[in-house]
Amino acid sequence: MSAIGDLSQSDNLTSEAVAKRIRLFIHHQYRTSAGTSASLNSIDDLFPIIQTLPPELQMLASLLVMQKELETVPYLSSRYLTIEEQCDVALACKLLEFSSGEIVRLNEFECGRGIFVLRHGCAFVVRNNHEKPLLDRLELLTAGSAFDPGKVLIERENPASRGVLQFLTFGTVIFVPESAVSAVFEKNKRAWSECGRWMYLKTLLRDQEKKVAEEAV
């Protein structure tokens, strides 16, 4: 347990310090284990030590590993979700790795639709992918940013749901599947009414072809 540190000195222990120690311990256990591929893994696959914890601690450990990234998505943040709800989302997430130059098309991704939260690296983002370069919006996605919480809310057949992610460097990503987002809104109406629906409309107006967006309004 040396990777966690001496927990007996707990006078000045904060939640941030505990989260950091748990992350370091899990990372240490993973690096010294057999080393499964991290190209596409659940939290349990990537950090097998979590499976040895009691169920309540499994949920908490998963959240502590990913909470910083979940907070970048407004409707998944602690402003709208309880700890238990965030734990459910964290358990559904995948940890992915992408090589430099790799391209991801949102509507064709092997894991389905979802939110990409970049932990490390950087990537170019084409928001529209209308096959009309002059109309597309090219942006830089850096570590600690999410792409794109609004697109996963839009119907698949709508052009505004399209987008392309091209990694400029090696990148690691927290992938929040569409099913986890849908489960949140089914249980938490406030997250949808106060945040999700406005992000849906904003994304639709921003990324939709002009004439279709006007009709939607």
Tens of pLDDT, residues 53-111: 777 777 777 777 788 899 999 999 999 999 889 989 988 888 898 988 898 888 888 88
User: What pLDDT is stored for residue 89 in this prediction?
Assistant: 92
Q: What value does the mean pLDDT of the chain take? A: 77
Question: What is the band of 4 on the pLDDT scale with cuts at 50, 70, 90?
Answer: very low
Quick check: 129 pLDDT over 80?
no
As a whole number of angstroms, the distance between CA 67 and CA 159 comes to 31
The 146-147 sheet, strands edge to edge: 40-42, 94-98, 171-177, 114-120, 146-147
Quick check: 215 pLDDT over 60?
no
* Residue predicted with more confidence, 205 or 42: 205
> Pseudo-torsion of CA 164, 141, 135, 133, nearest 10°?
-60
Contact 127, 139 (CB under 8 A): yes
User: What pLDDT is stored for residue 72 in this prediction?
Assistant: 93
Per residue in 16-56, pLDDT tens? 676 666 656 655 554 454 343 335 556 666 566 666 777 77
In total, the chain counts a number of residues equal to 217
User: What pLDDT is stored for residue 13 in this prediction?
Assistant: 64
Instruction: Using DSSP bridges, classify how beta strands 122-126 and 138-142 pair: parallel, antiparallel or unpaired.
Output: antiparallel
The dihedral sign for the CA sequence 122, 165, 199, 212: positive
User: What pLDDT is stored for residue 31 in this prediction?
Assistant: 46
Phi (first) and psi of residue 179, to 5 degrees: -60, -35
Name, in order, each residue with C-beta under 8 angstroms of 57's C-beta and a sequence gap of 6 or more.
Answer: none
User: What pLDDT is stored for residue 217 in this prediction?
Assistant: 44
As a whole number of angstroms, the distance between CA 4 and CA 17 comes to 10
Question: What is the band of 2 on the pLDDT scale with cuts at 50, 70, 90?
Answer: very low
Per residue in 139-158, pLDDT tens? 888 999 998 799 999 998 88
Q: Calculate what percentage of the chain has a pLDDT beyond 70.
A: 68
Quick check: 137 pLDDT over 80?
no
User: What pLDDT is stored for residue 34 in this prediction?
Assistant: 39
